[in-house]
Amino acid sequence: MESFTKLGISEKNTYPLSRKGFTKPTEIQELTIPILLNKEIDLIAQAQTGTGKTAAFGLTLIERLEENNIMQALILAPTRELVVQICDEINSLKGSSRLSIIPIYGGQSIDLQFKKLKKGVNIVVGTPGRILDHLNRGTLELNNLKYFILDEADEMLNMGFIEDIETIFKLTPEKKRVFLFSATMPHRIQKLAEHYMGDYEFIKTNTTITTNLTTQIYHEIMEDDKFEALCRIIDINPDFYGLIFCQTKIEVDQLANKLIERSYSSEPLHGDLSQYQRERTLEKFKKKYTNVLVATDVAARGLDINDLTHVINYSVPQNPEIYVHRIGRTGRAGKTGTSITFVTPSDFSKMDFIKRIVKSEIKREDLPQIDDILNLKKDKITDNIKERLNYDNSDFHEWAKELLGIDTPEEVVASILKNAYGKFFDKKNYKEIKAVKGKRERVYSEDNKVRLFVAKGKLEGMTKRKIIDFISAKSGTPERKFEQIQLFDNFSFITVPGKEADMILHSFKNIKNNSKPIIEKAKAATKKVDFYEKKKAV
């Protein structure tokens, strides 16, 4: 871990890094950590998600903060998923440090958050709307703040949080350090920096997490059909040479064994293997003695493998950073590659979040059909036979004449093909894949405007700002997409484009109010409006 200690990371804090599989710093870490640790200056860093920026500022806080009950660092992020991800990442890096970190976001009990804040905490990670709510209530104080960090600043701008961020800036102490991280640098973010930051250094990395050489697709599928889907993908790609990611070591072993039982050349790779086993497995894979490697994220970190045709997310990654680390292993050195993610109904929200943060095209596609796979196999065998016609086959001429004399040429060739390849063309080798239950049906076009009913109103303390924050925190809908908000005592109406309506309805489908959906299409909500009006009258 010498490369990390050279940047200024103490030896005790490199141990968690090695346990997580980090072998050397990323470009953003090399460029920013020395500034963050050794200079008393603000920093703006332009870097894409997945380049390791969370570890850059997380390690800095672990090195610099005092282990007490005083809040010294505030990190703002656009969504609750990202808030949780940042907390998890810093907790995984802090090792023996007793620094305390808590997430603060909308949709979670504000009273529970207040109790945690009252006990004392060193780092607060939160969404702008909920942080501002605590500041207004007096349940969060910034008097001792030393570090103010904005992560995914451009995404917060897109979601309409810029005014909240400016308000929070005004409530922070003058003497503090500000770190701003953003994938892009729009004019409004630059203006924010010029107005509220002191002297700062600007860093821009050249690292790109995705390229045009990597085709990114996903398949919506039921959990128990994943294995069948994987087999179809391998079979439809004759030159398949891929890395398959699972969440746990147990899943890796189970999947690798199932593939072997189905006659695929597969090996597992995870942390429970000995060093010798790992090296032997990797050597076989690199030499293409095996063409399918099933691995965990930690085991695959730092692998240098070229020419991969596929990276398959058998399990949806826990966050966008893991997603981009995974898919970055194909589409290298000028060669094309494909990343495929299996998305079950329970993963829809997670996949939507990944698509929003990664900001690259991830296309939904249907799985290969059985007939398509069989036709491909037939074409490949036909090509092999044609190629053999150029060789010297004279040793078999007499035998061929003898066989052709038995029956018609068509029947003889058919018999030979069935004997040699019949088992490869048995449709029973494949099972039918079920339609996805709970699948999102796009009932609106991108341009249609949709009116939604929200079972929250003025009597619950709702304002137009809070309605936006409440819905954005859960669904990630940008503020600019809310075209009309009508606020009543017990309920509200919002108007948004069709795409955002889909996302909002999906995000809130399991959130109820008196056993009724808390958000639904307005045209289906007439009775519910009557219900709330009657309730109000009572």
pLDDT the model gives residue 447: 46
CATH number, position 13: 3.40.50.300
Residue finishing a domain among 204, 225, 248: 204
| Same-domain check for residues 412 and 469 | no
CB 72 within 8 A of CB 144: yes
Residue type at 129 in one-letter notation = G
Contacts from 518-522 at CB under 8 Å and sequence distance 24+?
518/454, 518/455, 518/456, 519/452, 519/453, 519/454, 519/455, 519/471, 520/452, 520/453, 521/450, 521/451, 521/452, 521/453, 522/451, 522/452, 522/453, 522/493
| Same-domain check for residues 21 and 156 | yes
The residue ranking higher by pLDDT, 515 or 311, is 311
Instruction: Write the pLDDT tens digit of every residue in 349-377.
Output: 788 878 877 777 888 898 888 888 888 88
Question: What pairs with residue 269 in β-bridges?
Answer: 295
Compute the distance between CA of residue 303 and CA of residue 50 in angstroms, rounded to an integer: 16
Instruction: Write the pLDDT tens digit of every residue in 224-251.
Output: 999 999 999 999 888 899 999 998 899 9
The residue ranking higher by pLDDT, 322 or 121, is 121
Q: Is the pLDDT of residue 488 over 90?
A: no
Instruction: Write the pLDDT tens digit of every residue in 266-321.
Output: 999 987 888 788 889 988 998 999 999 999 876 666 566 778 999 999 999 877 77
Instruction: Write the pLDDT tens digit of every residue in 103-145.
Output: 998 878 888 999 999 999 999 999 998 999 999 999 999 999 9
pLDDT the model gives residue 298: 67
In a domain, 415, yes or no: yes
In a domain, 40, yes or no: yes
Owning domain of residue 395: 371-429
Q: Is the pLDDT of residue 523 over 70?
A: no
pTM beyond 0.85, yes or no = no
In a domain, 15, yes or no: yes
- The domain tally of the chain equals 4
pLDDT the model gives residue 444: 39
| Same-domain check for residues 405 and 481 | no
The mean pLDDT value of the chain amounts to: 84
| Same-domain check for residues 68 and 194 | yes
